[in-house]
Structure 1
Amino acid sequence: MNILVIGFSTRSIVCSGFRAGYNMYAIDAFCDHDLQQCAKGFVKLDIGEGFDASKIRLDEITGLIEGFGVDFDAIIPGSGFETIGFERLPYWILGNDPRIMAEVSDKHLFSIFLKNRRIAHPETVLLQDIGMLEFPVMVKPACSGGGIFNMKVKSPEDLLLLGTKLNEAGMPPGKSKIIAQEFVEGIPASVSVLSTKDRAVAIAVNEQLIGTSWLTEMPFAYCGNITPFETPHASEMKYIAENVILELGLVGSNGVDFIITDDGPVVIEVNARFQGSLDSVEMATGINLLDAHLKAFEGIIEMSSEIKDEKENSSKNKYAGRGILYSDRKMLMTETVRDMLLEINVCDVPVAGQAIGTDEPVISVLSSGKSRDEVICKMKDSVMFIRESLNLLES
């Protein structure tokens, strides 16, 4: 089966499909070393400065698809490309309805959806109505992921510097719709869900690494996951996530982000696509998410045979993590350093010659163990080795 993944960063999806035995192809902004090892063919997107996938025309993508010369059985829209309108193409599209995506991807519209259903969620307004909220507040683009443009605003005076800060962070000018949210203190987490049109099954609760100091200098940047996340709120979070996914009519692999507060879990957003937790979920559960995603679109969720038996797994590694290391300066990857990095358990490995900017993701580290602490310890050791290796690169 020939499957094409189109997204800003598709490595995890492509490599999951490769492990499941599919012929994988990619249109991707990075075309990392490990993606190239897993893909039958790939095309690199020219993202330039201030890249905004919503500005790409469907006919441009069609030309890239036809350039493969492959009869694709399915296309999977990845990060940044969920609302392009692939349903107009003559392919089986393994993605959610763009009309649903438009509502889900807009954090302001999604907040209204949650409010109407009395689901705990931070009070959310458009930036022009920020006076309705008490400071501090979280300011962010209505349609954006990764947390790199999120700003904590402590006072009205800070708003005067907001535009400058967003420009310095490199926010594309097209993301002009800005929202303000009640600032919620707590532990970031997510629930991974597989769903058909009439059934949703939560397969994992994940800890989210946000602004982790040994991975990034950006306070709200997404830095990876640890699976599972053990919390007394797990059952409630799974119930909420399953019902939100079902009511939205989402199919396949989708996720719901939470903040776990002293008063319980608060829904932050829905990721109606493959999530960044794919690696840790697959490692911890034994589920191949690409295969499970495809089957969900066929109306099938086969959980019993796919999740590792708890008793059998008790003596093995049951925790897994992915940590995303961000750069602290501009650098250019070399073949020598790339080969050094491949000696440890990493993914998202830049190809030789890849230019990496300040505060951009460099590489991800993977680890597994019998406890969260063991996973974190292994990841920190890998990060230390990577930093030493990156010191050999010229700025």
Structure 2
Amino acid sequence: MNDPERGNMQNILVIGFDTRNIVCSASRAGYTVCSIDAFCDFDLRECAYASSFLECKTIQELHRLKTSRIKAQMAEFGLEFDALVPGSGLEMLDHKDFSCSVLASSPDAMQKASDKLYLSKKLEALGIPHPRCYSPEELDAVEYPVMIKPISGGGGVFNRIARSKQELLAILEELHGLNPELKEETVVIQEFLEGIPSSVSLLSTKNEALSVAVNEQLIGIPWLSRLPFVYCGNITPFRNEQAEEMEALAEELMLEFRLLGSNGVDFLASKKGPVVLEINPRFQGSLDTVEMAMNINLFEAHAGCFRGELPEKPKAKGFAARGVIYSDRELFIDQKLMELILREKGADVPSQGTVIEPDGPLTSLFARTSTREEAVLSLEKGANRIRAFIENHTKTEGA
């Protein structure tokens, strides 16, 4: 296995469902980066040395992806890789299958941290506040309302609220219809709590954990998506009196679950204090805003964790916000629409000729300002410009 010292590590492969933010961070840090990614967005290809398509469009297909297929794609790049970094959807890759270093926590640690039911039991044992989780055998004991979500992953796309047993059973049937892998055993039924969605971004070695930033999460924002619980971006930093307590709890969990590198913990800032929702044992969607607001390169810091190194705790410089716009229709990306998106100077820019599914992510917008309010206003104006263009463009084409 190659020594993960920075001097000996140059060629990196990032593989995952959506890897743009990791690839661009590694590229800015001076690495030669290749990517296997489901979208291969325009800006990912601009950052990467080379990229190829992850030929999986659903979670079911990801679960069936064979190591031999990944190795064949790696060979096509014509580089000898020093390290592999798994992104979203491929956290559970078996490190033993690859001859290069894998800059990630062990698959066992990732599996436990990702499993919301296992996490619930662990949090109970540690005395850390969290929503109560019900197993499929406890349906008669459920106190409503409850949130139904996949046991791991999902980005909020499949999250639903049930206010009665009848609604709960109907939702379980609906989710199974949308994704055959979603059934009673693979979803979590969780007490529904009110609060401000937030997260802590961390770096950790075997012995230490450092909270880099606390982020406000944008969930189900109507001017960004029609889906009520989907991840729509975030604002860094989150100025809240519970932030320090969140940092301390998140650091405790990193060491408890033996997670390495860049990871995140999702919270609710509730009236009763911080409540842990889930752990994301991988690079998070907040990577862009954390880097912008905290003036840190997270990929370089992540790689350092595997050498036992943590950076100094960074200080926020203003506010950085990311807004993910979801399409409200099937959308063909022609030259005019792509040019408009490029003018907004965002990220996740779909390539010309791409077709975006209804409720699929279209692009990300960014704002860097001195106040939170200015950041949100900037995102909203950008989203409105794109929506108005699509509306007029569609009418013109249909005329």
Q: Same fold (TM over 0.5)?
A: yes
User: Which residue pairs with 2:41 in the alignment?
Assistant: 32
User: Which residue pairs with 1:377 in the alignment?
Assistant: 377
Q: Separation in 1 of the partners of 2:143 and 2:366?
A: 40
Q: Secondary structure at the match of 2:303?
A: helix
In the alignment, which of 56, 59, 70 is matched to residue 47 of structure 1?
56
Residue 60 (1) aligns with residue 69 (2): yes
Q: Secondary structure at the match of 1:349?
A: coil
User: Which residue pairs with 1:171 in the alignment?
Assistant: 179
Unaligned ranges ≥5, structure 2: 1-9
Q: Separation in 1 of the partners of 2:328 and 2:96?
A: 40
Checking the alignment, whether the CA contact within 8 Å between 1:259 and 1:265 is kept in structure 2 is yes
Bigger shift: residues 80-89 or 179-188: 80-89
Checking the alignment, whether the CA contact within 8 Å between 1:189 and 1:206 is kept in structure 2 is yes
User: Which residue pairs with 2:388 in the alignment?
Assistant: 388
Q: Separation in 2 of the partners of 1:129 and 1:46?
A: 38
Checking the alignment, whether the CA contact within 8 Å between 2:59 and 2:89 is kept in structure 1 is no
The aligned length equals 385
User: Which residue pairs with 1:283 in the alignment?
Assistant: 292
User: Which residue pairs with 2:367 in the alignment?
Assistant: 367
Residue 255 of structure 1: how far off its partner (Å): 0.6
Checking the alignment, whether the CA contact within 8 Å between 1:367 and 1:378 is kept in structure 2 is yes
Structure 1 length as normaliser, TM-score? 0.94
Residue 180 of structure 1: how far off its partner (Å): 0.4
Residue 192 (1) aligns with residue 201 (2): yes
Within-5 A mapping of 1:162-311: 162-167=171-176, 170-173=178-181, 177-303=186-312, 307=314
Q: Separation in 1 of the partners of 2:180 and 2:235?
A: 30
Q: Separation in 2 of the partners of 1:383 and 1:212?
A: 11
Checking the alignment, whether the CA contact within 8 Å between 2:216 and 2:234 is kept in structure 1 is yes
- Cα distance 1:186–1:47, how it changes in 2: closer, same or farther (>3 A)? same
Checking the alignment, whether the CA contact within 8 Å between 1:126 and 1:178 is kept in structure 2 is no
Amino acid at match of 1:159: L
Amino acid at match of 2:339: D
Q: Separation in 1 of the partners of 2:37 and 2:190?
A: 32
Checking the alignment, whether the CA contact within 8 Å between 1:31 and 1:43 is kept in structure 2 is yes
In the alignment, which of 65, 77, 89 is matched to residue 80 of structure 1?
89
User: Which residue pairs with 1:99 in the alignment?
Assistant: 108
In the alignment, which of 134, 157, 169 is matched to residue 148 of structure 1?
157
Amino acid at match of 1:373: E
Report Cα offsets for 1:145-200 as digits up to 9, x if no partner: 301101100111112321443256x3353676112001111110000111111011
CA RMSD of aligned residues (A): 1.6
Residue 332 (1) aligns with residue 332 (2): yes
Checking the alignment, whether the CA contact within 8 Å between 2:38 and 2:57 is kept in structure 1 is no
- Cα distance 1:255–1:237, how it changes in 2: closer, same or farther (>3 A)? same
Residue 86 of structure 1: how far off its partner (Å): 3.1
Q: Secondary structure at the match of 1:152?
A: strand
Amino acid at match of 1:323: G
- Cα distance 1:362–1:127, how it changes in 2: closer, same or farther (>3 A)? farther
Runs of 4+ in 1 over 3 A off after TM superposition: 48-52
Q: Separation in 2 of the partners of 1:103 and 1:247?
A: 11
Q: Separation in 2 of the partners of 1:50 and 1:109?
A: 20
Checking the alignment, whether the CA contact within 8 Å between 2:13 and 2:85 is kept in structure 1 is yes
Unaligned ranges ≥5, structure 1: none
Q: Separation in 1 of the partners of 2:55 and 2:153?
A: 19
Checking the alignment, whether the CA contact within 8 Å between 2:60 and 2:181 is kept in structure 1 is no
Report Cα offsets for 1:33-55 as digits up to 9, x if no partner: 10000000001122245644222
User: Which residue pairs with 1:16 in the alignment?
Assistant: 25
Report Cα offsets for 1:117-153 as digits up to 9, x if no partner: 1111111122342322201101111122301101100
Q: Separation in 2 of the partners of 1:191 and 1:49?
A: 28
In the alignment, which of 148, 161, 168 is matched to residue 159 of structure 1?
168
Residue 265 of structure 1: how far off its partner (Å): 0.4
Q: Separation in 2 of the partners of 1:156 and 1:164?
A: 12
Residue 353 of structure 1: how far off its partner (Å): 1.1
User: Which residue pairs with 1:122 in the alignment?
Assistant: 131
Structure 2 length as normaliser, TM-score? 0.93
Q: Separation in 1 of the partners of 2:51 and 2:209?
A: 32
Residue 70 of structure 1: how far off its partner (Å): 0.7
Bigger shift: residues 128-137 or 325-334: 128-137
Q: Separation in 2 of the partners of 1:174 and 1:236?
A: 34
- Cα distance 1:185–1:143, how it changes in 2: closer, same or farther (>3 A)? same
Q: Separation in 2 of the partners of 1:76 and 1:49?
A: 20
Within-5 A mapping of 1:313-332: 313=317, 318-332=318-332
Checking the alignment, whether the CA contact within 8 Å between 2:290 and 2:296 is kept in structure 1 is yes
- Cα distance 1:339–1:293, how it changes in 2: closer, same or farther (>3 A)? same
Q: Separation in 1 of the partners of 2:111 and 2:231?
A: 22
User: Which residue pairs with 1:350 in the alignment?
Assistant: 350
Amino acid at match of 1:54: H
